[in-house]
Structure 1
């Protein structure tokens, strides 16, 4: 079958797997405030206006958390599936599972059926979210790796935006079509993903691992040199992959337990915490429950529709502000991007906490449809809360959003990459599950202090990144090993180079990819720079 070698086209098809997560976020966020949804799954009766109150806060938290709960399991399983069947095939399996889950969700008549469908959808998202970054990172050139893996986050933001406005349009329909139409339409991208992947090549590193060397060389040539099998870059890359594969064959007993051995524990903790911190920023749960926040800020309207359009603005911001990372993340590097993002998000969360603490009043009985909407703010402070929320999204979108998907696949050797990234991604979904369940009761019980908790997490992640997260931008995956495996005399081998001494080496990598010869003077200068920072 004909295979497409354009790396941007490959990434564009693969990251549809990320868009599936975005569809789920916005379909739940936009739908939970509509009357047809609240009436279909009503547990609390009616308020003074005769409106359905919908599920209880804890049950709604459980419904929302069902998807990340399934994703946690799917991410763990994806490592085995990916290593056995290939990166591309594992993503195709995930797309089929998504279609099955979407059918069940669309047809849901009660809460248990809805939860089961969302768990199945989550299982699909877990597989795709873990293996799409692995697939792209193993096929992309180092100088473009950050940008291309970052497309995963951009696809998530597009999924959120597209589905949100589908839900916004559907909110003007009547009856259960308000939520059944969006839940049914979300199966279409999964079909597109499955078909599109048929025309994409498999990961060359996975092919090499399976001793399919000619296929691996063909893929490298197709993607990196327009089919030139004798390209110096292709031959050099293939030789590096061969050395790594042969070395790893001597240590071929691979399991999840190896990730917790002393030599691997440092990078395992970094990868896991990259995904954990991305959730503890509070971004995704704020996406799920943004209608709650904006309702408390005075944007409530008849049937919940009035809050949808202002909520949609933040999804537009999310899409637009991810673009700078796609253009310049490889130039910025991973460390600076994460540090700036943590600092800015801490600021805006603190601003929101202060505004709610000083200017809010407790919600009156039956004022809102959910007890999670526990505060009310009006006037200028309410506008400031909305603005601060938008700025928070604008800070997350070009920083932790794309880097949290780009960074973990860069940390691990080939033999462990599939399972390691699966473990990291499962950590993401475990915390996504916990926070999706936690936020509604948190707003109900500790009100504005919820923001303080997330601001504290952002401060902690800044410190953690500064001292422990090394720079991996523009380094071949095989060379990242040297950062963690320092063999200098007198060093502790598994600790490696201190994180704050690692640097971005973009210019040198660009020259190598263009097959330019580095002069002896440049090489000496480069080595001196590396030694000075080590």
Structure 2
């Protein structure tokens, strides 16, 4: 069977798994405020005097419906580590696409809230598998100088999925009856079918193949993805040598378990990976996506809320592009720090505007309990502007980096399970926050923005002191940052995070731009024509 070797095509296909998450976000966001949904899943009064308007599910129940998907994703992400290590990154993603179709059928055919929740849990299980293993798969195939850009496509695919499904749902909102939500929930199976089929033509991860002693296949994959099929390319030989050393070292140790990720040597990088995903949720971005119609309804947009809400999805798509182009030059640390500072600014601004200018809504003014404030005039426009600016700040920063960064932190032996654990924390907090926000808006109102603003301030400090730079470093080279024992390093933490920088050395090697002195002057020389480097005691630049 023909195998695709272009890393951009490989990434473009694989990240469709991320688009599944985006489809879920916007299908729920666009649908929860429509009359067919509110009336079919109605739990409250039917306002016959206002053209049959329904109150829909209660705030608590709507939070549960929304949170069902990330709840299933949490379990799927944890399981994906074992699935990926046993069957391979590629097959794990294909299994996820099959499960998504099953969940979508149940959601589309829902005859009540219970069936809707079950379908969303199954959909979430699929998203958990794909969201954990797609970044691992791309990370293990992509060259270091393009790794950030290619893994970042996961976030871009999410933004495209959000936007496409939102407009499908918006168009279907004009359809009468339950078809208004059944059509978009049924159409979301199409990308999963494409993902399963297209993955048949993609290669398996060379690092996973090497781990299974399939060395010829691993060398072939490296050659077709990095050297146009030339198995004797210096870069292919170098990569294969690095992978061989890593595999041989790891085999000297016992099989990895989740408990090993809590050992003194691993706990630091484990906590960094986990908190990268936790903080990405604590920005409040995905909650904004789920419940944006609530926010804009409170800002006075009323029945025309869907179209203005869609503007943030367009901003999300466009503003992710700079990260894809420049994330490997910017580095991970500066991107995360700038994003946290900007988002904190817009969240506190919204909190101040709503605290000063909002009022309690009149009885029957809004359909949902979560729509607990009403703000009009210039302050309402400022709330909408700050919401757009918040999205524009998240899109090129925490959005893509939260997927790029964790797979770069871990050695091959633990990468599958470690990234699964980090991603499961993402979904655990996604579940908690999706459930928390509707009741929070109903009870503490504008103070919700204060909570997320404080989270952004905390993550800024956390990144500055603990998150090292990994941009343009070979995966095996990142090991040294955490294992560094030279003077000035910190026991069990390695090189201080604020002393690490983007490594341009590796990019030169890939492009063949190194001169002879650079090739052999960094503590490495080739012995007897072997591709295995002989390392000197001089540490690599971090």
What range is the shorter-chain TM-score in? over 0.9
The 3 A distance-change label for structure 1 pair 196 and 122 is same
Partner of 1:87: 89
Q: CA deviation at 1:494?
A: 2.4
Q: Tell me, what secondary structure is at the counterpart of 1:208? A: helix
One of 250, 266, 270 as aligned partner of 1:268: 270
Counterpart check, 1:384 vs 2:358: no
Residue of structure 2 equivalent to 1:175 = 177
Shift of 1:46: 1.3
Q: 1:533 to 1:222 in 2, by over 3 A?
A: closer
CA distances 1:410-449 after superposition (whole Å, capped 9, x unpaired): 0000000000000000000000000000000000000000
Partner Cα separation in structure 2 for residue 325 and residue 197 of structure 1: 25
Query: Is the contact made by 1:511 and 1:518 (CA closer than 8 Å) also made in structure 2?
Result: no
Output the CA distance in 2 between the equivalents of 1:277 and 1:90: 26
Question: For 2:228, which of 226, 229, 237 is the aligned residue?
Answer: 226
Q: Is 1:495 aligned to residue 497 of structure 2?
A: no
Spell out, residue by residue over 1:147-189, the C-alpha distance to the aligned partner (whole angstroms, 9 max, x if none): 0000000000000000000001001110001000000000000
Aligned residue number for residue 31 of structure 1:
31
Structure 1 pair 490–180 and aligned structure 2 pair: CA distance change class (3 A): closer
Contact 1:501 1:533 (C-alpha < 8 Å) held by counterparts? no
Partner Cα separation in structure 1 for residue 180 and residue 44 of structure 2: 20
Partner of 2:412: 414
Q: Where do 1:364-379 residues align within 5 Å?
A: 364-379=362-377
What corresponds to 1:290 in structure 2?
292
Match of 1:511 in 2: 508
Structure 1 residue 509: deviation in Å? 1.7
2:503 and 2:541 in contact (8 A); partners too: no
Partner of 1:520: 517
Superimposed CA distance per residue, residues 90-133 of structure 1 (whole angstroms, 9 cap, x where no aligned partner)? 00000000000000000001000000000000000000000000
CA separation of 1:490 and 1:377: change in aligned 2, threshold 3 A: closer
Map 1:49-128; keep pairs closer than 5 Å. Answer: 49=50, 50-128=52-130
| Alpha-carbon distance in 2 for matches of 1:80, 1:218 | 25
SS of the residue 1:4 aligns to: coil
- Partner of 1:375: helix, strand, or coil? coil
What corresponds to 2:446 in structure 1?
448
Indicate if the aligned counterparts of 2:149 and 2:328 stay in contact, CA closer than 8 A: yes
What pairs with 1:345-494 in structure 2 (closer than 5 Å)?
345-488=343-486, 493-494=491-492
Specify the alignment match of 2:316 in structure 1. Answer: 318
In the aligned structure 2, how far is the partner of 1:249 from the partner of 1:434?
38
User: After superposition, what is the alpha-carbon deviation per residue over 1:278-313, rounded to whole angstroms, capped at 9, x for unaligned?
Assistant: 000000011000000000000011xxxx10000000
The Cα offsets for residues 246-281 of structure 1, whole Å up to 9 and x where unpaired, read as 000001321000000000000000000000000000
Bigger shift: residues 487-496 or 97-106: 487-496
| TM-aligned CA deviation for residue 517 of structure 1 | 3.2
Q: 1:19 aligns to what? A: 19
2: distance between equivalents of 1:11 and 1:431? 27
3-state SS of paired residue (2:299): helix
Q: 2: distance between equivalents of 1:327 and 1:162?
A: 22
| 1:336 aligned counterpart, secondary structure | helix
User: Cα distance, 1:490 vs. partner?
Assistant: 8.5
Q: Which string of whole-angstrom CA distances, capped at 9 and with x for unpartnered residues, describes residues 340-384 of structure 1?
A: 000000000011001101110011121100010000011111111
Question: Which has the larger displacement, 340-349 or 38-47?
Answer: 38-47
Q: CA offset at residue 524 of structure 1?
A: 6.4
Asked if the contact 1:221/1:229 (under 8 Å) is kept, the reply is: yes
Over 3 Å counting, the alpha-carbon distance change for 1:412 and 1:525 in structure 2 is: closer
Tell me whether 1:198 sits opposite 2:195 in the alignment.
no
User: In 2, distance between residues paired with 1:5 and 1:109?
Assistant: 45
Q: 8 Å contact 1:72–1:126 — kept in the other structure?
A: yes
When residues 253 and 327 of structure 1 are mapped into structure 2, their CA distance, relative to the original with a 3 A threshold, is: same
Residues of 1 paired with 2:255 and 2:431: CA distance?
32
CA distance in 2, matches of 1:209, 1:524: 30
2:484 match: secondary structure: coil
Tell me the residue number matched to 1:333: 331
* Distance 1:316-1:251 versus aligned 2 partners, 3 A rule: same
| 2:255 maps to which of 250, 253, 258 | 253
Whole-Å separation in 2 of the counterparts to 1:491 and 1:72: 35
Give the match for residue 342 of structure 1: 340
CA drift of 1:518 comes to 3.7
| Cα pair 2:74 2:128 within 8 Å, conserved | yes
CA offset at residue 531 of structure 1?
Answer: 7.6
In 1: Cα distance, 2:407 partner to 2:398 partner: 15
What is the SS of the residue equivalent to 2:145? helix
Work out whether residues 86 and 203 of structure 1, in 8 Å CA contact, stay in contact via their aligned partners in 2: yes
Compare 161-170 and 508-517 and name the one that shifted more: 508-517
Please name the residue that 1:300 is paired with: 302
Secondary structure of 1:480 counterpart: helix
Question: Does the 8 Å contact 1:170/1:178 carry over to 2?
Answer: yes
Matched residues in 2 for 1:491 and 1:272: separation? 23
Q: CA RMSD in A?
A: 1.6
Partner residue, 1:10: 10
SS in structure 1 at match of 2:300 = helix
TM-score by length of 1: 0.97
Unmatched 5+ residue regions in structure 2?
525-537
